[in-house]
Amino acid sequence: MTAGPHLPERTPRAKDQPTALDGVLVVDFTRVVAGPACTQTLADFGAEVIKIENPDGGDDTRSYEHAEIGGESAAFLTLNRNKRGIALDFTNPKALEIARALIAKADVVVENFSGGVMKKYGLDYDSVVSSNPRLVYCSISAYGRKGDFALRPGFDPITQAESGFMSLNGFPDSEPVRTGSPIVDFATGMSACNVILMALLAREKLGRGQRVEVALIDTAVALTGFYGMAYLISGNNPGRFGNSPNGSPTVGVFRASDGPLYMACANDRLYRRLVTEVLDRPDLVTDPDFSHRKARTANKEKLRGIISGIFATDSLEHWMAKMKKANIPVGYLRTVEEGFNAPEVRGRDRLSRIPHPTAGSVPNIETPLSMSLTPAIDPVAAPLLGQHTKEVLRKTLGYDDRRIAELAEAGAFGKPIPSRGTDE
């Protein structure tokens, strides 16, 4: 396997800057994608996030096979930055006592187990709210915690398929295509973060917390956006349109003589600039077949053929320069490697390397969120399995070494795991 690109060390934040979520304690029972994406954002902005994992293998993403470094997977490193990790065996009563003690101190609990799991262990909202009325308790699931499908498991691509979202992706003459990145998972994680923050604000007014919920299927439906709304208005089932929404002849991938570009010339003003200032074809403005948007849509194949033929006559850089000068929205069609090394990305200082206990250092993709007064904390790599168990019990729950040793002997943390990093 080839090594990744060179990444700079991250520039530390100013020491005197506060954090947005300082003092907020989050107990994180999540795994895989949506839940960890939510809690990572909370951790990035100063919340103390304690990630609880099964000592037998931990979060499923630890074994994902995209790539690994220092024995940790790319997926796990992507989603669990800035968290402290502990390992608890929920089949052990002592471990459940620890979980309940942490919940009693928490501001936020986030869980995305299959339906019924938290209730089975006495960790569901109704079981714990009496000990902590100010608790914000967020459940993330595929189909919701109530109703006929509450116990049905589901994952991002399943809800992409079942919601109709997947039917919008791909080309008209091919099967629907799921998004490469699990967009429903990530969007659900963002929504969960939003609803938690709203509940924390509401707590200041109401004096108590509440149960909040997000579901993958709801997010997938919402992501159909105006195509879903158009169906509800017209009754017409939207189809796939590839790279050109509604078959627009001036939006999508075009090829210069030496490579592709993506153009989004989506209104009359941009179209006029395109054909007069870039393509040198003012006749395409006055021609009744192309003079207004509806005419262009009706004659889209003809117009697209004309535009494609012109682009093919010269180089990519020639057309990019002309379109940028005319202020036409256009971009290079890049691979991940090309995108991550492009000036538009590198200039944002969002890619760096951060220390890691077994790998030495690991790549880091910075949070996309920026705050001027309370910026994100300096990133700490995702924890090793159970790395902070003793530290959390000492500092958060006040347990002494003798009690921790007794819990370990009783099997609360599972079987002893050979140390791969520091526990402090």
Catalytic-labelled residue, pool 185, 218, 258, 400: 185
- Among the residue ranges 9-13, 17-21, 408-412, the one predicted with the least confidence is 9-13
- Looking at residue 418, its pLDDT comes to 46
What gap in Å lies between CA 330 and CA 319, rounded to an integer?
Answer: 10
Average pLDDT over residues 182-204: 98
Which tens digits make up the pLDDT trace of 361-397?
999 999 999 999 999 999 999 999 999 999 999 999 9
Contact 378, 10 (CB under 8 A): yes
Residue 188 in this model has a pLDDT that exceeds 70? yes
Residues with Cβ within 8 Å of 55's Cβ and at least 6 positions away in sequence, in order, are: 87, 88, 89, 385, 386, 413, 414, 415, 417
Average pLDDT over residues 277-304: 94
Does 185 participate in catalysis according to the annotation?
yes
Average pLDDT over residues 180-208: 98
Average pLDDT over residues 225-229: 95
- Looking at residue 423, its pLDDT comes to 54
* CATH class as words, domain 25-225+343-409: alpha beta
Q: Residue 421: pLDDT band by 50, 70, 90 thresholds?
A: low
Mean pLDDT of the chain: 94
Contact 34, 186 (CB under 8 A): yes
> Domain residue spans in the chain?
25-225+343-409, 246-334
The residue with greater pLDDT, 16 or 97, is 97
Which tens digits make up the pLDDT trace of 82-132?
999 999 999 999 999 999 999 999 999 999 999 899 999 999 999 999 999
What gap in Å lies between CA 127 and CA 121, rounded to an integer?
Answer: 9
Residue 214 in this model has a pLDDT that exceeds 80? yes
Question: pTM of the predicted model, to two decimals?
Answer: 0.93
Which tens digits make up the pLDDT trace of 34-79?
999 999 999 999 999 999 999 999 999 999 988 999 999 999 999 9
Q: Residue 415: pLDDT band by 50, 70, 90 thresholds?
A: confident
- Looking at residue 293, its pLDDT comes to 87
- Looking at residue 9, its pLDDT comes to 87
Residue 1 in this model has a pLDDT that exceeds 50? no
Residue 277 in this model has a pLDDT that exceeds 70? yes
Residues with Cβ within 8 Å of 161's Cβ and at least 6 positions away in sequence, in order, are: 176, 178
What gap in Å lies between CA 131 and CA 12, rounded to an integer?
Answer: 39
Q: From 3.30.1540.10, 1.20.1600.10, 3.40.50.620, 3.30.70.1890, which CATH number describes the 246-334 domain?
A: 3.30.1540.10
- For the chain, the first-to-last Cα distance in angstroms comes to 33
